[in-house]
Amino acid sequence: MKKIFLLFAAVCALVACDPVSEDISNAGHITIDELKAKTTVTVDKAASGQNGNVISCTTSAPVNAKWNIGGKDFVGNFAKKKMKLGDYTVTLTALCADGTELKVDYPVSCNEITDPLTKYTLWEGEFTVGGWDSAPLRFSDSEGQNFPTLSDDIYFGLKTLILDVKHASDGCQARIMNGWWSTVYAENIPLTSGMKWEVQITEQIAKECAKGNGGEGRDLNLLITNGEATFTSVYYEE
């Protein structure tokens, strides 16, 4: 299993950060058509006949498979995720034993809530922060001012954090970085009044910011780089 893991991680490093994979004893190479024939992406159905909000993905193809659903990666033959309502593209990236990488997109629409998302609140309150003040938006009990230290389950679960922005000044912009100022994960993010700012925790963020399980303990840190913004809650849903 370790040999397959190392092969898959090396190839996927171009598009993702070292996913954990499973040896499914694949051999040789398959075509895109063969991959599609052995792969199914479905959405559950509501009583009304409308598409629900649970996406299920499976493949029996002899490949190492990685799914991207709503911006989150899942490695394995099967993946399942509850979604918000909307249109999505599920991407299957498949690695054949000969090193060939195949990629297939599956458009999906979720029209009705069949399995409600559960909200997990991490912080509630209200504060306003201006440009280049990093402490108020650092997720750290010891070095931040408002947000708690995130657990390893949140980091390595690659949760999507949602911040309620009550107010943002004109031209307000933000950055996603870590508390050591050593890595910028995204920047020039526009913030507007009333928006829900979604911050996707990536594998890189998890490895650099988590406290345990091999994490470097740098803390996720958000930063206002222009203007000011007022925040009232942070949570994730699943």
Looking at residue 66, what is its pLDDT?
96
pLDDT digits (tens, 9 = 90+) for 25-37: 445 789 999 999 9
Quick one: pLDDT band at residue 71, thresholds 50, 70, 90?
Answer: confident
Residue with tokens 């890595």: 183
Residues 155-161 have a mean pLDDT of 94
Mean pLDDT of 140-149: 97
CB 12 within 8 A of CB 19: yes
Report, as an integer, the average pLDDT of 166-182: 98
Three-state DSSP state, 177: strand
pLDDT for 28 equals: 79
- In the chain, the percentage of residues whose pLDDT exceeds 90 is 86
Say what the pLDDT of residue 83 is.
Answer: 95
Closest by Cα among 103, 166, 179 to 136: 179
pLDDT for 47 equals: 96
How confident is the model over 184-196, as a mean pLDDT?
98
Q: Would you state the pLDDT for residue 175?
A: 98
**Count of other CB atoms within 10 angstroms of residue 206:** 22
Confidence (pLDDT) at 27:
55
Is 82's pLDDT higher than 60?
yes
Residue 228 CA to residue 126 CA, distance in Å, equals 13
pLDDT at 191 over 70: yes
Under the banding of pLDDT at 50, 70 and 90, the label for residue 17 is: very low
pLDDT at 2: 40
- Which residues does residue 90 pair with via DSSP β-bridges, in sequence order? 106
Mean pLDDT of the 123-129 span: 98
The answer on pLDDT for 3 being more than 70 is no
Q: Is residue 4 over pLDDT 60?
A: no
Find the range with the poorest average confidence among 10-14, 76-80, 99-103. 10-14
Report the distance separating Cα 67 and Cα 104, nearest Å: 10
- Quote the tokens at residue 86: 């909307």
Instruction: Kindly indicate the confidence band of residue 72, based on its pLDDT and cuts at 50, 70 and 90.
Output: confident
pTM of the model: 0.77
Tokens of 66: 């990685």
Q: What are phi and psi of 96, to 5 degrees?
A: -80, 165
Report residue 120's pLDDT band, with 50, 70 and 90 as the boundaries. very high
